[in-house]
Amino acid sequence: MYTIKEIFYTLQGEGAQTGRAAVFCRFSGCNLWSGLEKDREKSACPFCDTDFIGVDGKGGGKYPAAVDVAETIQKLWPSQADVQVKPYVVFTGGEPLLQLDDELINAMHQKGFEVGVETNGSLPAPKNIDWLCVSPKSQMELKIFQGDELKLLYPQKELPPEKYSQLDFKHFFLQAIDNKMAEENLKKTLNYCMRHPKWRISLQIHKILNIE
């Protein structure tokens, strides 16, 4: 059984895959925050801007089998898409690795999809993920030390970029925390990336474009 908040087709808005068409499958639930406002300030990521509670989103529901999820995702990929373009799905959350398993990944591969995952890195990842983005948070032990993309919300006193710069990732991104200090956070992020060119800035262009 897979408990899913929503499944929708859009453009990737962050990181190295920015602008790429993708079907997003957002699992319900997270191991670092209940999603309830009363628990926000005590959570590992009080700046979280995602609703991952329940199954009431577009395409949301409780899916009994991997094939059911895979078929729902496949139907959202445009039928007129160029056959040379590999379909792409991003499993996210909440925390997708609480539910994502080999069976669902294999079901997506059988339908020709490239599989991306956005995780906080606190749980081990299946081996057959095609694109792995890790975004560490405070109050957690990192369990994933290599992948395609490390995306760090900045600034966080407990999580300086230097702590992660030697890990085995292809891309290193800083993303300014979008809260009441957003303007100041962006200035600090720009300054850090200018002084440390290994790190690139990630902008949330889906918010700029006002898309999902």
Active site residues: 24, 30, 45, 48-50, 118, 206
Phi, psi of 114 (to 5 degrees): -85, 135
Q: With the CA atoms of 144, 98, 129 and 23 taken in that order, what torsion angle do they form, in degrees rounded to the nearest 10? A: -130
- The whole-angstrom separation of Cα 35 and Cα 23 is 23
Which SS3 state, helix, strand or coil, does residue 201 take? strand
Beta bridge partners of 11: 21
Using CB atoms within 10 Å of the CB of residue 90, give its burial: 0 to 12 exposed, 13 to 18 middle, 19+ buried.
buried
